[in-house]
């Protein structure tokens, strides 16, 4: 089947800009991995007439129409009612869904209102998609050669429903025999345009595996997707493409799939049984705060000092007065002493420091975006200078990520700290 997929998100809150349509992004990404073509995204408010018009338009150009939202208990949840009316299909009670809803209200010791029964109504003859994290089930119905797929709006309900039930349904219904496997490669320290330039010929000639670049939050990811009847062969295709890619840009590669720089740094510190402490001026404690969000950090993070003023740098962190007077707080010399001193004060294996100018105004003659990051261990102390662009908040966040990258390189260079 030549798939022409359209996603229709239902909800006035989307049109008002109150929430982001992350569902369409998620579904499009998953469909691309499955080898399905998504040509249109449509958003409509909670209005039966406009939703019906959107369905008519989609029917003229798509053979898979996926809906998110409008399956709840209130009067403005009208997706299945509108589609039932348009397709001349009855809505019937799904006994399993109704039992699950009743069980939920018993569990939370609340009285179920009558409108909650509405959530258990489904299109007659539809294939039911279980809702493991909510109440309203999803459903799939084929009519006149078009597959209609209805799922709830909350991402916490829609995403597991799609992965666990909708995706297998579509693959089986459309007779997809090939194994589809994907792998996300994560890069930091290289821009999207530079990465694509380095891989231009590979991207232009992609067939199997496919290569999908995606930039966001100061990082770049490549999603590789391979198809083959044998899973081992699909994996081999991914391995071969990854090797070609990282032969060119491997210096910026740091991990796979849903990992993060913070996760990789924490794992490396734990594996090496290496402790760390931080001295933060520019970042104001952001490095330590973010590190503590990662499981296992308590075994390696000794603590830190937020030394936003020169007085705290000098009196608490013991940065030399002449260093601050002769070179300033935004300097290689200050970053070096901050990293070395926090390591000694905390008794940690590594000290990391952040100092610089986040803006909005220059400081000590240094332009906005000037950043010094120091890393000190018993082996050496190194200081990295950056010239970053962007907002004040963006500079601070990217400084933390660069700190993680430099720390990873330091750990790799000195395997036994």
Q: What is the pLDDT of residue 1?
A: 58
| pLDDT confidence tier of residue 109, bands split at 50, 70 and 90 | confident
**Is residue 306 very low, low, confident or very high in pLDDT (cuts 50, 70, 90)?**
very high
pLDDT tens, position by position, 172-218: 998 877 777 889 999 999 988 999 999 999 999 988 898 988 887 78
Q: Residue 320: is its pLDDT beyond 80?
A: yes
For 340-367, what is the mean pLDDT?
A: 96
Of 120, 155, 156, the residue nearest 139 (C-alpha)? 120
**Ordered domains of the chain (ranges, CATH):** 5-173 (3.40.980.10), 179-256 (3.30.70.2860), 261-413 (3.90.950.20)
The model's pTM: 0.73
At 236 the pLDDT is 95
- Could you tell me the two tokens for 97? 């869904």
Mean pLDDT of 116-134: 93
Mean pLDDT confidence for 99-103: 89
Residue 405 confidence (pLDDT) above 90: yes
Burial of residue 197 (number of CB atoms within 10 Å: 0-12, 13-18, 19+): exposed
What is the three-class DSSP state of 136? coil
Question: How large a percentage of the chain has pLDDT more than 70?
Answer: 99
Burial class (CB in 10 A: 0-12, 13-18, 19+), 357: buried
**For residue 416, what pLDDT band results from cuts at 50, 70 and 90?**
low
Q: HSE (CB half, 13 Å, CA atoms) of 250?
A: 8
Mean pLDDT of the chain: 93
Complete edge-to-edge strand list for the sheet that includes strand 381-387: 301-306, 276-280, 350-356, 370-376, 381-387
188 strand-pairing partners: 219
């Amino acid at each position: 089947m030549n798939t022409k997929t359209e996603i229709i998100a239902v909800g006035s809150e989307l049109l008002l800009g109150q929430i982001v349509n992350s569902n369409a992004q998620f579904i499009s990404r998953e469909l691309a991995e499955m080898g399905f073509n998504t040509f249109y995204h449509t958003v409509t408010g909670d209005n039966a007439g406009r939703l019906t018009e959107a369905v008519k338009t989609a029917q003229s150009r798509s053979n898979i129409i996926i809906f998110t939202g409008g399956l709840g208990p209130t009067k403005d949840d009208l997706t299945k009612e509108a589609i039932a009316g348009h397709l001349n299909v009855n809505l019937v009670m799904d006994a399993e869904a109704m039992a699950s809803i009743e069980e939920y209200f018993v569990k939370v010791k609340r009285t179920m209102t009558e409108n909650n029964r509405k959530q258990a109504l489904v299109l007659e003859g539809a294939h039911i998609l279980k809702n493991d994290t909510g109440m309203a089930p999803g459903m799939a119905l084929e009519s006149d050669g078009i597959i209609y797929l209805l799922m709830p709006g909350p991402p916490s309900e829609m995403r597991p429903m799609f992965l666990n039930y909708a995706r297998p349904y579509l693959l089986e219904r459309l007779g997809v025999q090939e194994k589809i496997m994907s792998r996300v490669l994560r890069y930091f320290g290289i821009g999207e345009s530079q990465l694509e330039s380095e891989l231009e010929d590979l991207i232009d000639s992609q067939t199997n595996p496919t290569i999908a670049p995606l930039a966001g939050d100061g990082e770049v990811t490549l999603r590789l997707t391979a198809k083959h009847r044998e899973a081992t062969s699909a994996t081999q295709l991914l391995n071969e493409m990854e090797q070609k890619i990282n032969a060119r840009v491997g210096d910026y590669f740091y991990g796979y799939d849903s990992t993060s720089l913070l996760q990789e740094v924490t794992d490396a510190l734990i594996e090496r049984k290496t402790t760390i402490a931080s001295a933060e001026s520019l970042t104001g404690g952001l490095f330590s705060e973010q590190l503590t969000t990662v499981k296992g950090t308590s075994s390696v993070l000794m603590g830190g000092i937020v030394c936003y003023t020169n007085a705290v740098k000098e009196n608490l962190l013991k940065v030399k007065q002449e260093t601050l007077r002769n070179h300033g707080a935004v300097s290689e010399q200050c970053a070096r002493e901050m990293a070395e001193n926090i390591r000694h004060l905390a008794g940690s294996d590594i000290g990391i420091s952040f100092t610089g100018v986040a803006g909005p105004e220059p400081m000590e003659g240094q332009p906005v975006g000037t950043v010094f990051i120091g890393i000190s261990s018993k082996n050496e102390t190194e200081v990295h200078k950056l010239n970053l662009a962007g907002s004040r908040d963006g500079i601070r966040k990217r400084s933390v990520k660069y700190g993680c990258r430099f720390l990873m390189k330091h750990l790799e260079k000195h395997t036994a700290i």
